[in-house]
Amino acid sequence: MSSLVGFLSLVFAIGINFYLFLSRYIFKFQKQKFNLFIRFSSLLTLLSFFSLMYAYVVSDFSNYNVFQNSHSNKPLIYKISGTWGNHEGSMLLWLCILSIFSFFFSFTKNIEDNFQKLTLIIQAFLHILFGLFIVFTSNPFLVNSILVNEGLGLNPILQDPGLAVHPPILYAGYVGYSIVFSIAIAGLFQNTDDEWLYVAKKWSLISWTFLTGGIALGSYWAYYELGWGGWWFWDPVENISLMPWIAGLALVHSLMMVRGEQAIKKWIVFLSILCFSLSVFGTFLVRSGILTSVHSFAADASRGIFILLIFFIITGFGFLVFLLKEPKKSNTLNLLFINKVSALVINNILMIIATLTILLGTIYPIIIEVLYNKRISVGGPYFNSTVIPIMIPGFLLMSIAPILSWQTNKINNSKKYVLAFIILSVLVILQSYFLDFNTWGFVGLLLGFWIILASIIAIFSSYKIKINIKFLKIINPHIAHIGVGIAIIGITCSSVFQNELDFNLNEGDKFNVNGKTVLFEKIETTNEINFQSLRGKFLFDIEKDQSKEIEAGKNYYPVSKMITSEAGILHQWNKDIYFILGDQKNNEWFVKVLINPFVSFIWLGVIIMMYSGLIAVSRR
Amino acid sequence: MNKIFILTPLIVLLIICIFSLVYLLSGKDPNKPPSALLNKDVPIFESSSLYNAKDIIKTKDIKNKKTLINFFASWCSPCKIEHPLFFEISKKYPELYLLGFNHKDPTSDAKKYLEDDGNPYDFVGVDSDGLIALEFGVFGLPETYLINEDGKIIYKFMGPITMDILKNEIEPLL
């Protein structure tokens, strides 16, 4: 029953969007009526999504999708997240978020009616494309042809609280760019005043913030669930989320800087189209099964071709409009040797080069396989040695960009900065001299600290310190950059200064980690609702009264016959001690301990960046 | 000049789409990477029987007969799925030599597995340290190779074989 409701409301929603799309040419509408229709179709799409969720919650195995991906003895949260833990459901989530964005956009005030309408018509067009994709190739409401009373279960690796919320947030980022895309295209068509830039800024900030959160959640999940001790692997799936993120970053900065310059406006339109294109491209790569990863649920060529077509239509349409309709002529670019505009331009160029470098590395294996029928994989070494050096000058520039002037080459208080930089360099040199020297470590630390220091100096020397919301808004760009600085320090330390220790242990053995004695207490196996767990219990720092207990081990999921590793992590502010329980051999357990310094800084930096994103949304 | 600049994204888009389309249409499957070993000689191996350590099989022992090599393990659940198909193959093609390699498995588990599910193989070789699998370039279990009379690998499949694959891809080669 719920499947029928879901399917009908989905089809009905697509129908309404089709009607709205035609309204541009055939039936003319009043604004109110038009908005009412848009909201109604959004609610229908939501209804469709919630019917599927309901089927999951009550374990309605007459729905084929639920049967394939759920199991009645799963905890409720994973029944809910099971809704998007599969290809069909996740595409419905995609569509649902698209609708939600249209819904909220229809409430935007202070913009021209025609412009708003056109934006929503483009949204309706996107809704139709993805809606048809779902109906024809990925219908989550198919009825199960056999009568069953139990389902096949959700991929155990996805049964994790972090991963339950990761897809909706990430999608909110990806799909949020659809609004930015629609706004940019509508802006090109209408070619009116610059009002659309402010609207676009708000929405691109929202999308970017969500995307940041989604990527961070995914990588935090990889950190503690995959049990490899790292949090970023340059996996194709990570890369395709990073590309719209970097392009989105360039877009946000351009939008903040624009003062009516024609060249930048053109560039903004380009970036808006690019961001959404990259999002759709990512969806294509993951959903077509061209890439194998935990994200590709099923490989099906017809789906791949359909979504490739969607990608082609959207991107082709976007860039074609861009080619044919140029933004209205206005001010020219005020480029000086070093002012805000030139810093922005340089930074944008760097970000685009970085994006293209990642794009090349990601699609290169596909090209090679088509041309030479050979499989290669492009991994960490390529990206580390190309993307990072490209970004470094950008980071340097970023530390001083907010204090540059618009009109002149002058930097206020330049002496202070030079002095601070010299002192900092000496300190970092001393640090690397007395501890272990590593070029990347040196560069990373210097950059990270410099960005933080320069931002702090800028805050103190340029503004009167007050504690109120207005002040927080004014210094927001500096805060965002401090977040980046903190994240850079975390990234540098955790990757360059990571320490690995291997042990072969019996229960009851004591061993030494970082000068602290650790006791390998015992191995414990228990039966949980939907898995069996094997845990090694460790007591960290037993000489102290408050020794900490760490559990590391594995889960075995009988329904899907899969084993997942569960790393045991002791979080401290300055380092994570990361325990991995390996296999048992000759009655000894293999235990790997990784010491990851300053990992918490990465998450802290990300949280600061997201905070800044949100503050910036409210700032005009 | 300016137009060319703006045209670039469209050209890049076209290139990406063409390559992706060719990739999708050529029926390439991430689960079936093109094997460097295809049409090459079988790697040199030597393995003892699961049931009798003195019974040794070497590369030259499978010369002059068509051989189907299957890597399996008791802990590998997809292997269980394809397992019954090997009985069908051995019934239908009695002259085909079925060689199973038991991959990184305790002997007792492997024996129990073949007791419970039956043993379709003409010979079960032990690959306890996974070195033979390494020589064959095994990605993950199960994996199946077809070797012709000249000792060349003529077919490789990653993952559990299905009725479809057996009918459409393996049988035409037999």
* Cα distances (angstroms) measured from residue A505 to each of A228, A511, A519, A525, A541: 20, 9, 10, 17, 17
pLDDT tens digits, residue range A528-560?
877 888 888 888 888 777 778 888 888 887 766
Quick check: A144 and A56 in contact, CB under 8 A? no
pLDDT tens digits, residue range B42-71?
888 888 888 888 888 888 888 788 889 998
Task: Tell me which DSSP letter residue A619 carries.
Answer: -
CA-closest candidate to residue A571, choices A592, A605, A601, A544: A601
* Cα distances (angstroms) measured from residue A509 to each of A503, A505, A506, A542, A588: 10, 6, 6, 12, 10
Residue A530: partners with Cβ closer than 8 Å, 6 or more residues away: A71, A73, A74, A75, A153, A159, A557, A559
Task: Tell me which DSSP letter residue B49 carries.
Answer: B
Among A186-190, A309-313, A322-326, B11-15, whose mean pLDDT is lowest? Answer: A322-326
CB < 8 Å to A288, chain B: 20, 24
CATH architecture of B37-173: 3-Layer(aba) Sandwich (3.40)
Mean confidence (pLDDT) of chain A: 85
Quick check: A513 and A540 in contact, CB under 8 A? yes
Contact check, Cβ <8 Å, B24/A366: no
Distance CA B38, CA A374 (A): 11
Q: Over the range B135-147, which residues count as b (16 or more CB within 10 Å of their CB) and which as e?
A: ebebeebbbbbbb
CA-closest candidate to residue A61, choices A192, A135, A153, A162: A153
In chain B, which residues touch A (CB < 8 A)?
Answer: 3, 6-7, 9-10, 13, 16-17, 19-31, 33-34, 36, 77
CB < 8 Å to A273, chain B: 9
A301, A367, A375 member nearest B34 (Cβ): A375
The alpha-carbon gap from B61 to the nearest alpha carbon of chain A, in Å, equals 31
The better pLDDT of the pair A421, A125 is held by A125
Per-domain residue ranges of chain A: 1-155, 401-497, 499-600
pLDDT higher than 70, residue B96: yes
Mean pLDDT, rounded, for A46-51? 96
Q: Residue B77: its pLDDT value, please? A: 67
CB < 8 Å to A323, chain B: 3, 6-7, 10
Q: Out of A57-71, A334-348, A598-612, B20-34, give the one with best mean pLDDT.
A: A598-612
Q: Residue B127: its pLDDT value, please? A: 85
Mean pLDDT, rounded, for A230-242? 84
CB < 8 Å to B73, chain A: none
The alpha-carbon gap from B9 to the nearest alpha carbon of chain A, in Å, equals 7
Q: Residue A280: its pLDDT value, please? A: 93
Contact check, Cβ <8 Å, A319/B26: no
CA-closest candidate to residue A497, choices A594, A424, A380: A594
Distance CA A215, CA A38 (A): 30
The better pLDDT of the pair B81, A44 is held by A44
Q: Residue A357: its pLDDT value, please? A: 94
pLDDT higher than 70, residue B33: no
Mean confidence (pLDDT) of chain B: 81
pLDDT higher than 80, residue A296: no
Q: Residue B119: its pLDDT value, please? A: 87
Cis-peptide into A140, omega within 30 deg:
no
Contact check, Cβ <8 Å, B77/A304: no
Per-domain residue ranges of chain B: 37-173
Interface contact A561, partner B, CB < 8 A = yes
CB < 8 Å to A367, chain B: 19
How large a percentage of chain A has pLDDT more than 70?
A: 92
The alpha-carbon gap from A147 to the nearest alpha carbon of chain B, in Å, equals 22
Q: Residue A305: its pLDDT value, please? A: 87
CB < 8 Å to A316, chain B: 10, 13
- H/E element, B145: strand B143-147
The alpha-carbon gap from B109 to the nearest alpha carbon of chain A, in Å, equals 15
Q: Which of A272, A297, A308, A559 is most worth mutating to test chain B (most B CB atoms within 10 A of its CB)?
A: A308
Torsion angle defined by CA atoms of residues A55, A60, A66 and A71, in that order, rounded to the nearest 10 degrees: 120
Contact check, Cβ <8 Å, A270/B24: no
Distance CA B24, CA A360 (A): 19
Q: Per DSSP, which regions of A252-291 are E strands?
A: none
Q: Residue A317: its pLDDT value, please? A: 93
B19, B26, B30 member nearest A367 (Cβ): B19
Quick check: A21 and A121 in contact, CB under 8 A? yes
Residue A263: partners with Cβ closer than 8 Å, 6 or more residues away: A332, A333
ipTM of the complex: 0.80
Distance CA A203, CA A186 (A): 14
pLDDT higher than 70, residue A328: no
Q: Out of A1-10, A373-382, A519-528, A579-588, give the one with best mean pLDDT.
A: A1-10
